[in-house]
């Protein structure tokens, strides 16, 4: 198996022309407030192309949520 030569290289998470840390801010925003769930970051050609937030609401038998 050929070793990945990009393991130690920096991956640019910013799209061209995107100021600041917009993608990182959006990921942090997607994570905040989730008690149960997941955040999925989809990457194509070393670029973030999609952020999905899935949240679950769980209820116990006493009705607390």
Confidence of residue 6 (pLDDT cuts 50, 70, 90): very low
Q: What is the pLDDT of residue 60?
A: 82
- Can you give the pTM of this predicted structure? 0.57
Please count the CA atoms within 13 angstroms of the CA of 39 that sit on its side-chain side: 14
For residue range 8-65, what is the model confidence (pLDDT) as tens digits?
334 444 455 554 489 999 999 999 988 899 999 999 998 889 999 999 988 887 755 5
């Amino acid at each position: 198996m050929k070793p990945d030569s990009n393991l130690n290289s920096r991956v640019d998470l910013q799209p061209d022309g995107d100021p600041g840390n917009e993608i990182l801010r959006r990921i942090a925003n997607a994570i905040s407030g989730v008690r149960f769930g997941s955040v999925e970051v989809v990457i194509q050609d070393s670029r973030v192309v999609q952020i999905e937030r899935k949240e679950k609401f769980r209820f116990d038998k006493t009705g607390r949520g």
